[in-house]
Structure formats: structure tokens, C-alpha cells
């Protein structure tokens, strides 16, 4: 593990097991999904922050979440058709809405009109097809009354909030069977959507040491990473690039240095957005670009994790499905 300017943020002593590393290295193509309240209206996943919507107003969207077209097995079967062997889903994005049942909040899909635990259904579907299940989980939570809102003011009670966060992570690691990986997002030590980032990081002091050792203790094979755009910290098992190939920084926020951990290139279908946004239908990347991304990742020994954005009704976007079917044929991963 390479030491660097942010290394002091974690002194974790545990890493994933050999079985976890071996599985991760064997998975060459994965699919990730951004799906949540923002999908209901076809909006960007950062919509609450960009529009400065107060948490009590945004919370009303829970009553609109009813994607009756969602079918976990259809999703996973389609991903397998593309040759994907791993899958990552947003358990909770920055808006705090959970796609799983939690005893610590009612801001979930189980308390929405849908009344279903999507993570449970997806976990079962992945198990049936032998697909490795990874979970995306936001560190921040704009819905939680003790945490910073969309204005990024200091948290009201950060210790109490992190206790809530630990409790939810334990739910995810104990209720859904084997979890192949957890990707955290929402801690930016170098760049963030507010000018007081340095002060916020100092005040927050995320307990990464305890978090990573906690996860590896509960689920030894779980590969942990953090989308912080710097070299991995102690307790992090792989290095991820957001909308870039390893060692590249076309986005302006990625790490140019490649560390000594396994690698992932995390790519989007739209140029810079993760969720379903019909207003941006003209901004899809070409099939050739996706092929180049896959081949570029594989040349560097990295897994390509291709993100898609299911539609508000819960079904996969036909445009993205057709694109990925064509890509799979060209890169030789397509399954019948």
C-alpha cells in the first residue's frame, strides 16, 4: 500500500481475503446501476443538491416511487447476456433514499408505494446467475437530520450520524448473503461542490479505520473502495477511476498515479451523468467509444464497470440495452 498525503485518514489493519481478490481479478466486465427517487422523474442523481431542494420537500418524492416494471431477474439476466459477471447497485445515493429495508429510517423503497426491498430481490437474482454483487453506498445523507444538507453546512451531530451509517452498513452485510464489494462515495478530500471542502473534511473526520475493519470483519471477502480520487488508503482493496481509464484524468478530478491494488474503470452511458435522463438522449456515447473503454481497461488489467440508468418505471432503458448488446458482440463477451 503506497503512502501519500491522505494516508493518515485510515489506519485499517484488515484487507479483503484472497478469495475476494481472486474473484475481483477474474471479473472483467461489470454493470452498475444508478436508480432511485431521481429516476422517477428522469432527473440527475444530484438533482436535490443542484436545485437546492430542502430535505422535507424532497422527502415527498418517496410517495411517488412506484416502479412497477422493476424485475430483478430480468435485469440480471440481461447483464449476463452482455457477459457481465459482477453487478453494483446504488443501495443509497446522496439523497438518503434506501432501496433496502432498514430499521433505522422509513425513507426507503419498502415504505414507498412500491413496498419492496429491491436489494433483496437483486441479491437473489445475482445468486441464481452466479453474479458477484457489489453495493454502492453514499457516506453522506442529505435526508438525515443530523448530517449536512444540500448546503454542505457542518453536520449537527457527526458522531451520531456515523453510528447510524455503521448500523445501516451492518444491515447490508448481514441481510443479503455474500457481498463481493462495497464502493463508498461522498468523501472528497481534493474536490467537492463547495468552497469550504478543507474545513468540512477536517470537521467530519470520517472514521474510515473503524469502517473498513468493521466491514472486513463482517464479510472477509468483501472488496472495499472509496470514490475519493486518490491512491487507496489502508483497508481499501482496489482503486477506481470515475469516467476515466486508470492513470487518466480527462474529467479533471481523477488520480494520475496507479497504485498497487486491483483496478476498476467506472464508466457512464451518458457523457457525464449516471441516472436515466430522457432530456439528454442525444448525449449517449457511441458504441465505438464503449468498445474502446473496455479494451483500454483490459489492456491495463482493470475491470470495466459499465453504469446504466434504468427508467423511472423500473425497466431497463431500451437504448442502453441495445447499445450494450452490440458492444458485447464486438468485444466478444456476448452470451446466448
Each residue of 62-121: pLDDT tens digit? 999 999 999 999 999 999 999 999 999 999 999 999 999 999 999 999 999 999 999 999
Assess contact for 228 and 183: CB atoms under 8 A: no
- How much is the pLDDT for 194? 44
β-pairing verdict for 239-242 and 132-138: unpaired
- How much is the pLDDT for 202? 55
Nearest CA to 259 out of 217, 306, 307, 225 is that of: 225
Q: Give the helix/strand (H/E) hosting 33.
A: strand 29-33
Low-confidence ranges of the chain (pLDDT < 50): 190-197, 200
What's the CA gap between 267 and 271, in Å, rounded?
9
Overall residue count recorded for the chain in this entry: 336
What's the CA gap between 96 and 108, in Å, rounded?
9
- How much is the pLDDT for 169? 98
- How much is the pLDDT for 199? 53
- How much is the pLDDT for 272? 82
DSSP state of 140: -
- How much is the pLDDT for 193? 41
Residue 182's CB: how many other CB atoms inside 10 A? 24
Assess contact for 286 and 9: CB atoms under 8 A: no
- What are the cell numbers at 198? 478543507
Domains of the chain from N-terminus onward:
7-331 (3.20.20.80)
Amino acid at each position: 500500500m503506497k503512502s501519500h498525503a491522505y494516508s493518515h485518514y485510515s489506519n485499517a489493519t484488515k484487507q479483503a481475503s484472497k478469495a475476494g481478490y481472486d474473484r475481483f481479478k477474474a471479473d472483467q466486465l461489470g454493470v452498475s446501476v444508478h436508480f432511485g427517487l431521481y429516476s422517477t422523474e428522469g432527473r440527475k442523481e444530484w438533482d436535490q443538491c443542484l436545485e437546492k431542494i430542502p430535505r422535507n420537500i424532497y422527502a415527498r418524492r418517496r410517495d411517488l416511487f412506484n416502479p412497477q416494471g422493476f424485475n430483478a431477474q430480468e435485469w440480471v439476466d440481461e447483464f449476463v447476456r452482455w457477459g457481465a459477471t459482477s453487478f453494483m447497485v446504488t443501495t443509497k445515493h446522496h439523497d438518503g433514499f434506501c432501496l433496502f429495508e432498514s430499521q433505522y429510517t422509513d425513507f426507503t423503497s419498502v415504505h414507498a408505494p412500491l413496498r419492496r426491498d429491491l436489494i433483496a430481490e437483486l441479491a437473489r437474482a445475482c445468486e441464481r446467475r452466479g453474479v458477484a454483487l457489489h453495493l454502492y453506498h453514499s457516506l453522506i445523507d442529505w435526508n438525515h437530520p443530523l448530517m449536512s444538507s444540500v448546503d454542505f453546512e457542518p453536520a449537527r451531530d457527526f458522531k451520531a450520524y456515523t453510528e447510524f451509517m455503521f448500523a445501516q452498513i451492518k444491515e447490508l452485510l448481514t441481510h443479503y448473503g455474500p457481498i463481493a464489494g462495497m464502493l463508498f462515495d461522498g468523501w472528497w478530500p481534493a474536490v467537492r461542490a463547495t468552497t469550504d471542502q478543507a474545513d468540512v473534511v477536517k470537521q467530519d473526520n470520517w472514521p474510515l479505520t473503524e469502517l473498513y475493519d468493521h466491514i472486513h470483519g463482517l464479510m472477509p471477502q468483501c472488496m472495499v473502495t472509496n470514490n475519493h480520487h486518490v491512491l487507496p488508503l489502508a483497508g481499501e482493496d482496489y482503486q477506481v477511476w470515475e469516467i476515466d481509464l486508470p492513470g487518466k484524468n480527462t474529467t479533471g478530478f481523477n488520480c494520475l498515479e496507479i497504485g498497487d491494488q486491483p483496478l476498476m474503470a467506472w464508466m457512464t452511458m451518458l457523457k457525464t451523468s449516471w441516472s436515466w435522463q430522457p432530456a439528454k438522449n442525444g448525449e449517449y456515447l457511441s458504441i465505438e467509444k464503449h468498445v474502446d473503454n473496455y479494451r483500454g481497461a483490459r489492456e491495463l488489467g482493470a475491470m470495466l464497470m459499465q453504469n446504466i440508468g434504468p427508467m423511472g418505471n423500473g425497466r431497463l432503458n431500451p437504448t442502453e440495452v441495445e447499445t450494450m448488446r452490440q458492444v458485447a458482440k464486438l468485444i466478444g463477451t456476448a452470451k446466448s
